[in-house]
Amino acid sequence: EAQVTQNPRYLITVTGKKLTVTCSQNMNHEYMSWYRQDPGLGLRQIYYSMNVEVTDKGDVPEGYKVSRKEKRNFPLILESPSPNQTSLYFCASSPLGPGYEQYFGPGTRLTVT
Amino acid sequence: EDQVTQSPEALRLQEGESSSLNCSYTVSGLRGLFWYRQDPGKGPEFLFTLYSAGEEKEKERLKATLTKKESFLHITAPKPEDSATYLCATGGGADGLTFGKGTHLIIQP
C-alpha cells in the first residue's frame, strides 16, 4: 500500500530533551515536507526537501532541523524542544514537487511540558 | 504573499441538505488549487486538483469548481460520514502549498 508513515504517533516530552520524529514514504517521491498544525493557524510548512541532500526552510523553521540522506526518509529533529512546539505534525510527499498535490502521513501529536 | 481564505469557518447541515464551501485566493502564478478532507486527529486526505478557471471535478457527493479568484466545493445530499474539515490550498510558490484554515462541516442525521 502506498503510504507515508510517521513515528511516533504520540509523544510527551520535557523542555530541552532532544527528539526525532521519523517519516518514511514508499512511493519513490522526490519531494517531501513537514508541516505543523495549530488551532486557528492552520497548516504551516516547517521544512521541505526537493531530493536527497537538498533541504530548505519553510514558513516556520525556527527550532527544527531536518535531514534527507535517503529518498524515502525525512526525519524532523527538535534539538531542544520548547512548550511552543507543542503541536500536531504532519509529514507529506509529492510525486510532482512543490506546488502540487501532496500526500500526508497520519500525524504525530507532540506535547512539550 | 499568497493568501487563502475559506468560508464559512463552520457549517452544520441536515442530512440531505446540499450546500457549498468557499475558498478565495490571491496568488501569483497559480499552479493548482487543491481540496483536502481531514478527519479529527488524522492527516489531510487529497480530494481534487483544479488547474484552470472553468474546470470541475467530481467524486461521489462532492464537486469542486474553480474561477479566477475562488473555488467552491459543492456537497450534494450529504451524509453524516461527510462530516470533516475541508481544506483548500494553492500551489504556485517554489516551496510548497499555502493552506486555508478550513471549513468544519457537520452533517446531522
Share of chain A above pLDDT 90, in %: 87
> Within 10 A of A103 (CB to CB), how many other CB atoms are there?
19
pLDDT single digits (tens) B77-108: 999 999 999 999 998 666 678 899 999 999 99
Q: What is the pLDDT of residues A13-71, one digit of tens each?
A: 999 999 999 999 999 999 999 999 999 898 999 999 999 999 999 989 999 999 999 99
CA distance B76 to chain A (A): 24
Mean pLDDT of A88-109: 92
Task: Kindly indicate the confidence band of residue A109, based on its pLDDT and cuts at 50, 70 and 90.
Answer: very high
Question: Is the CB of residue B72 less than 8 Å from the CB of residue B65?
Answer: yes
Contacts of A88 in chain B (CB under 8 A): 41
> What residues have CB less than 8 Å from A75, skipping those under 6 apart?
A20, A21, A22, A23, A66, A67
Cβ–Cβ under 8 Å, residues B36 and B45: yes
Taking CA atoms, what residue in B is nearest to A91?
A: B43
At B2, is the pLDDT very low, low, confident or very high (cuts 50, 70, 90)?
A: confident
Hey, is the C-beta of B102 within 8 angstroms of any chain A C-beta? yes
β-bridge partners, B56 = B65
Chain B contacts of A101, Cβ < 8 Å? 32, 34, 46, 49, 91
Q: pLDDT of B18-38, one tens digit each?
A: 999 999 998 777 778 999 999
Which cell goes with B80? 453524516
Query: Taking all residues of chain B, what is their mean pLDDT, rounded to a whole number?
Result: 93
Q: What is the pLDDT of residue B1?
A: 75
C-alpha cell at B8: 464559512
* CB-based contact B96 A56, cutoff 8 Å: no
Give which of A21, A43, A60 to mutate to test B binding, by max B Cβ within 10 Å.
Answer: A43
